Chain A
Amino acid sequence: MTDSLKPISYAIIRGKIHHDNLVSFGGRGGDLEFYAPDPQTIIDELPIRSPSDMADMYELSLDDVIDYLEELGTHLDFRTNDYLREAAEYSYQTAPTTPPIIDGFYATLPLMFNRERILQWVDNSVGREYLEGWVEKRINGSDFNVRAYGSRALHIVAGNGPTLGALTVLRGAVTRSDTVIKVPSNDPFTTGAIVRTMVDVAPDHPITKHVSVAYWRGGDEAFEKKLYQPHNLEKIVAWGGFSSVKHVTKYIQPGLELISLDPKHSASFVGEGGLESEEQIIEVGKRIACDVGVGNQVGCANCRTVYVMGGESDEAIERLVKLGHAVYDGMLGLPEDMSTRPKRYDPELKSHVDACRLSDDFYEVIGGQQGEGAVIVSKTSDPVDFSAYLADRTVNLVPIDTLEDFLDAVDCSTQTVGVYPPQWVDEVRHKGALHGGQRFVELGYNLNGPGLIGPQDGIEPVRRMVKWIINEKPTAAMTPMWEFKPGETHLVA
Chain B
Amino acid sequence: MSSNAPAQQAPAIGPELEREARAWMDDPFAHFGYSNTRLHSVPREEQEAVQLAALNLRLAERRQQIPVLAKLADAQGIDSVATINDAAPLLFEHTVYKSYPISLLARQRFDQLSKWLDKLTPYDITGVDVSGCKSIDDWLGTLRAETPLDPANSSGTSGTMSFFPKSKADYRLSAMCFRVQLPQPFGQMPTEGDLKDKMHVMTPLYRDGHMSTGAFGKYMCEIFAFGDESYLHTAFQTKISSDLMWLAGRLRAAQAKGDVSKVDVPETLLARKAELEAMQRDMPAQQQAFVKSMVQELRGQRVFAMGTTPMFYEVAKSGLAEGIKDVFTPDSVVMGGGGAKGMVLPDNVDDIIKEFFGVPQLRSSYGMTELNSFTVTCEHGHYHFLPWVTVFLLDRDTGAPLPRSGVQTGRASFFDMTHDGTWGGIVTGDRITIDWDTPCPCGRTTPAIQGKVQRFSEVEGGDDKITCAATPEAQADALDFLNALEL
Residues on A lying within 8 angstroms of B by beta carbon are 26, 28-29, 31, 96, 156-160, 184-186, 217-219, 239-244, 246, 261, 263-265, 298-300, 302, 344-345, 347-348, 350-352, 354-363, 369, 378, 380-382, 385-386, 388-389, 391, 408, 411-413, 436
Residue of A nearest to B101 (CB): A382
In the bound complex, residues from chain A placing their C-beta under 8 Å from that of B292 are none
Q: What's the least CB distance linking A277 to chain B, in Å?
A: 29
The reply to whether B93 and A355 form a contact with Cβ atoms under 8 Å apart is yes
B-chain residues with CB within 8 Å of residue A264 when the two chains form the complex: 468-470
Question: In the assembly, what is the distance between CA of A302 and CA of B467, in Å?
Answer: 13
Check B466 for interface membership: any CB of A closer than 8 A: yes
- Cross-interface CB contact of B463 among A28, A158, A239, cutoff 8 Å: A28
CB <8 Å contact, B259 and A350: no
Q: Smallest distance from the beta carbon of B203 to chain A beta carbons, Å?
A: 30
- Indicate which residue in A157, A265, A382, A411 contacts B258 across the interface (CB closer than 8 Å): A411
- Residues of chain B within 8 A of A369, CB atoms compared: 1-2
Q: Please, which residues of chain B bring their CB within 8 A of the CB of A391? A: 469
Which residue of B has the minimal Cβ distance to A391? B469
Quick check: is B102 within 8 A (CB to CB) of the other chain?
yes
A157 touches B466 (CB 8 A): yes
Inter-chain contact B98/A385, CB cutoff 8 Å? yes
- Give the complex CA separation of A123 and B101 in angstroms: 48
Distance in angstroms between the alpha carbons of A28 and B458 in the assembled complex: 12
**Once the chains are docked, how many angstroms separate the CA of A386 from the CA of B101?**
11
Q: Please pick, from A240, A351, A382, the residue contacting B427 in the complex, using a CB distance under 8 A.
A: A351
Residues of B within 8 A of A243 (CB): 462, 473-474, 477
Q: Which A residue's beta carbon lies closest to that of B98?
A: A385
Q: Could you write out 24 A-B pairs with CB less than 8 Å apart?
A: A26-B463, A28-B461, A29-B459, A158-B466, A184-B464, A186-B466, A240-B467, A241-B471, A243-B462, A264-B469, A344-B397, A351-B427, A355-B93, A361-B116, A363-B99, A385-B98, A385-B158, A386-B472, A388-B470, A408-B262, A411-B257, A411-B258, A413-B258, A413-B470
Check if B460 sits within 8 Å of A246, measured CB to CB. Answer: no
Once the chains are docked, how many angstroms separate the CA of A6 from the CA of B96? Answer: 44
A160 with B472: CB separation less than 8 A: no
Residues of B within 8 A of A265 (CB): 469-470
Question: In the complex, are the beta carbons of A348 and B429 less than 8 A apart?
Answer: yes
Q: How far is the CA of A391 from the CA of B462 in the complex (A)?
A: 15
**B465 interface residue (CB < 8 Å to A):** yes
* Neighbouring B residues of A412 by C-beta, 8 Å: 258
Annotate B422-456 by CB proximity to A: 1 below 8 A, 0 otherwise: 00000101000000000000000000000000001
Instruction: Give, as a whole number of angstroms, the nearest-CB distance from B371 to chain A.
Output: 16
The answer on a CB contact under 8 Å between A411 and B474 is: no
* Chain A contact residues: helix, strand, loop or mixed: loop
| Residues in A whose Cβ lies below 8 Å from that of B407 | none
The answer to whether A298 and B101 have CB atoms under 8 Å apart is no
Could you tell me if B478 and A298 are in contact, using CB atoms closer than 8 angstroms?
Answer: no
In the complex, how many residue pairs between chain A and chain B have their CB atoms under 8 Å apart?
167
Please state if A241 and B466 are interface contacts (CB–CB under 8 Å). yes
> A96 touching B473 by the CB < 8 A rule?
no
Cβ A411 vs Cβ B98 within 8 A: no
- Which B residues are in CB contact (< 8 Å) with A362? 99-101, 116
CB–CB B469/A160 < 8 A:
yes
Contact A382 B257 (CB under 8 A): no
CA distance A300 to B466 in the complex (A): 12
A339 to B260, CA, bound (A): 38
Q: Which of A218, A347, A389 contacts B397 (CB 8 A)?
A: A347
**Inside 8 A of B72's CB, which chain A residues have their CB?**
358
Given A362-B101, A408-B262: A300 and B465 interface contact (C-beta under 8 Å)? no
B396 in the interface (beta carbon within 8 A) = yes
What B residues does A96 contact at CB under 8 A? 465, 467
The verdict on B457 contacting chain A, using a C-beta distance below 8 Å, is yes
B149 to chain A, nearest CB (A): 19
Are the C-beta atoms of B474 and A355 separated by less than 8 Å?
no
In the complex, whether B94 has a CB less than 8 A from a CB of chain A is yes
B477 touches A382 (CB 8 A): no
B148 interfacial by beta-carbon distance below 8 Å: no
Shortest distance in angstroms between B139's beta carbon and chain A's nearest beta carbon? 18
Picked from B462, B468, B472, B481, the residue with its CB within 8 Å of the CB of A246 is B481
Question: Which residues of B are found within 8 Å of A385, using beta-carbon distances?
Answer: 98, 102, 158-160
Contact of A359 among B94, B100, B258, B459 (CB under 8 A): B100
Residues of B with C-beta under 8 A to A359:
68, 96, 99-100, 116
Contact (Cβ within 8 A) B429 A382: no
Given A246-B481, A359-B96, A362-B101, do A241 and B463 touch, yes or no (CB 8 Å)? Answer: no
A447 to B102, CA, bound (A): 31
Please list the 9 inter-chain residue pairs (A to B) with the smallest Cβ-Cβ separation, ordered nearest first: A241-B474, A240-B466, A382-B101, A359-B99, A355-B95, A186-B465, A184-B466, A263-B470, A385-B160
Say whether B465 contacts A185, CB under 8 Å.
yes
Residue from A160, A354, A412 with most neighbouring chain B CB atoms (10 Å): A354
Please pick, from B94, B102, B119, B460, the residue contacting A28 in the complex, using a CB distance under 8 A. B460
Bound Cα distance A302, B119 (Å): 35
In angstroms, Cα B467 to Cα A244, docked, is 10
* CB closest residue in chain B, given A217: B464
* Contacts A239-B466, A298-B467, A388-B475; A351 near B481 (Cβ below 8 A): no
Q: Which single residue of chain B is at the shortest CB-CB distance from A412?
A: B258
Q: How far is the CB of B427 from chain A (nearest CB, A)?
A: 7
Known contacts A218-B464, A355-B93, A361-B116; A300/B99 CB under 8 A: no
Contact partner of B96 among A160, A298, A358, CB < 8 A? A358
User: Cβ of A31: which chain B residues have Cβ within 8 Å of it?
Assistant: 463
Taking the complex as formed, is B188 at the interface, i.e. its CB lies under 8 A from any CB of chain A?
A: no
- Say yes or no: A351 contacts B94, CB within 8 Å: yes
The answer on a CB contact under 8 Å between A159 and B467 is yes
Chain B residue with the shortest CB-CB distance to A362: B101
CA distance A412 to B2 in the complex (A): 41
Is B478 a contact of A184 with CB atoms below 8 Å? no
B468 & A358 in contact (Cβ 8 Å cutoff): no
Task: State whether B103 touches A382 (Cβ < 8 A).
Answer: yes
Q: Provide the bound-state CA to CA distance between A391 and B94, in Å.
A: 20
- Which residues from A are CB-within-8-Å of B77? none
**Smallest CB-CB separation from B465: which chain A residue?**
A186
- Pairwise interchain contact A241-B473, C-beta atoms closer than 8 A: yes
Contacts of B481 in A (CB 8 A): 242, 246
Q: Which residues of A are found within 8 Å of B469, using beta-carbon distances?
A: 160, 263-265, 298-300, 302, 391
A416 CB to nearest chain B CB (Å): 11
B281 within 8 A of A: no
Complex contacts, B467 vs chain A, CB 8 Å: 96, 158-160, 186, 239-241, 263, 298, 300
The answer to the question of B273 belonging to the interface, with a C-beta cut-off of 8 Å to chain A, is no
User: CB-CB contacts of B254-282 with A at 8 A, as 1s and 0s?
Assistant: 00011100100000000000000000000
Report chain B residues within 8 Å CB of A26: 463-464
The interface residues of chain A lying within 8 Å CB-to-CB of B96 are 355, 358-359
Contact check, B474 vs A263: say whether CB atoms are below 8 A apart.
Answer: yes
Asked if B227 lies at the interface with its beta carbon under 8 angstroms from chain A, I say no
* B474-A389 in contact (CB<8A): no
B468 and A160 contact, CB distance less than 8 A: yes
The 8 Å CB contact of A382, one of B1, B102, B464, is B102
Chain B's nearest CB lies how many Å from the CB of A25? 8
B115: chain A residues within 8 A (beta carbon):
361
Rounded to whole Å, the gap between the CB of A190 and the closest CB of chain B is 13
Measured CB to CB, the closest approach of chain B to A214, in angstroms, equals: 13
| CB-defined contacts of B470 to chain A, threshold 8 Å | 241, 263-265, 300, 388, 413
Complex Cα spacing A388 to B470, Å: 7
| Pick from B262, B429, B461, B468: contact of A158, CB under 8 Å | B468
